[in-house]
Structure 1
């Protein structure tokens, strides 16, 4: 299915029902279609940007789904790209409207930096999330107390109200694991993260018990990468790959950093991270061993 068909499918996608997914799916679909149209015409990003009074970098962000869309800009780009079919123009302009729909996390805008919004949108819309964490338990699997301790480590100067807001956001994100249909989560956790008592012994023990319980969910798979493995396939740090529903949109790769994030979006880059993630699965202990490992770490904590 091409990008035009993908765009038409997305306008009626069940992933958008109830507004839980936010604007990310239509934003990605529209961006992909605009890029395809531009490349078909052999038009450079700078020339496209000139038409809508924007930079080439803005065109790049729009095409990657990391920027909102003004209806006038989309209409002007469609004209530039030679799109005269009224049905296709209507479909893409409808996507532009959906792409600007406020997401549920907008009420947390005081604690959601711009570089996180793309990830939150993809996370809420994803049908599958693959994650590797080194220092800490993944946010989707954290208890509130563990999350609070983790937030304080990253934001040591934050007041109680701000910390509470950040924890509430993290807990709200976890709803994707309990909705119907639930998002499939497959996480590989470095053993070091399980042995690092974030928040103290009591908090860590409660977190380990929570992991034991949540591993019982049929759509949650957790593997432990043992310390004995040594060097491994993702030594550069934590990686998250999000697959969106429908099969037409590109996977989203998210590389979180201390003060920002990277979103590699070239097909070769995405493939590289998939390769690393798949090798991690082989290097890690079997999912069947996870409860045993967690119980052992709990006893030793």
Structure 2
């Protein structure tokens, strides 16, 4: 039973293993809740990696499930130990929007990320000034928190230069998002210049979806596909961000639907090799206005 690389994925792996062992033992979630004297929702959150569980409770469950192989027990306990580690994002948790700490952990553990962005430049590709303008717009009157969130966003970008395995990023961004003068003309000019530079990185692919293309498969809204190594469980998670909250989808049929949607939208867009020319044209037109 291999472990994943970071605490967020390890929490999910621990939960998945406890769920597998529970089912093998013929136990229901309500049985576990009664045994540990807690709510069924708590057990459900533990099994999806969204809630912590004490080491003694893990050992108790393993014994109750009939797991008596000491090697298997210690393997599970090692996953639990690894899951207790704090990620770098813990320093920012008090100012992060609900669910963002979980996303940061997943993003840090991912080997690849595919995203569709209709409104903004993707956070991993934002300049500091662009990020500041975006965050300040949604967090008015909170300058100290804005600066901490800007630093958080800039630190996330270290994933793109991570060694030895930088995050593989493929982003489809709407042309209209690049024509929105976030922060003003100078900020947008610098942002587009940065995108031109980033498009040349070997681990980054950027596509600009022309407004003239009209309707396409991804118009329902922003989403990301986080892909993990084969050691992780699951290997792909869908993240959907909205004002109403953050949603994570892991069921195979849901993941497959979003993979198909992303494949359709990138197939509908221009060849990524055209991206620098498209960005340069947008920059020229914005400069004229």
Corresponding residue for 1:295?
Answer: 280
Corresponding residue for 2:252?
Answer: 267
Alignment pair present for 1:228 and 2:199: no
**C-alpha RMSD of matched pairs (Å):** 1.4
Instruction: Give how far 1:242 is off.
Output: 0.6
Give the alignment of 1:1-301 within 5 angstroms: 5=1, 9-10=2-3, 15=5, 21=6, 23-158=7-142, 160-180=143-163, 181-250=165-234, 251-258=236-243, 260-301=245-286
Contact persistence 1:69–1:100 (CA under 8 A)? no
Contact persistence 2:93–2:101 (CA under 8 A)? no
For structure 2, which runs of at least 5 residues remain unmatched after alignment? none
Mapped to 2, the partners of 1:283 and 1:38 lie a distance apart of 45
The Cα offsets for residues 25-57 of structure 1, whole Å up to 9 and x where unpaired, read as: 211221111111122233221221222222222
SS at match of 2:94: helix
Instruction: Give how far 1:246 is off.
Output: 3.1
SS at match of 2:280: helix
Instruction: Give how far 1:275 is off.
Output: 1.2
Mapped to 1, the partners of 2:13 and 2:177 lie a distance apart of 36
Contact persistence 2:92–2:152 (CA under 8 A)? yes
SS at match of 1:254: strand
Moved over 6 A (4+): none
Mapped to 2, the partners of 1:248 and 1:172 lie a distance apart of 24
TM-score of the two chains, using structure 1 as the length reference: 0.90
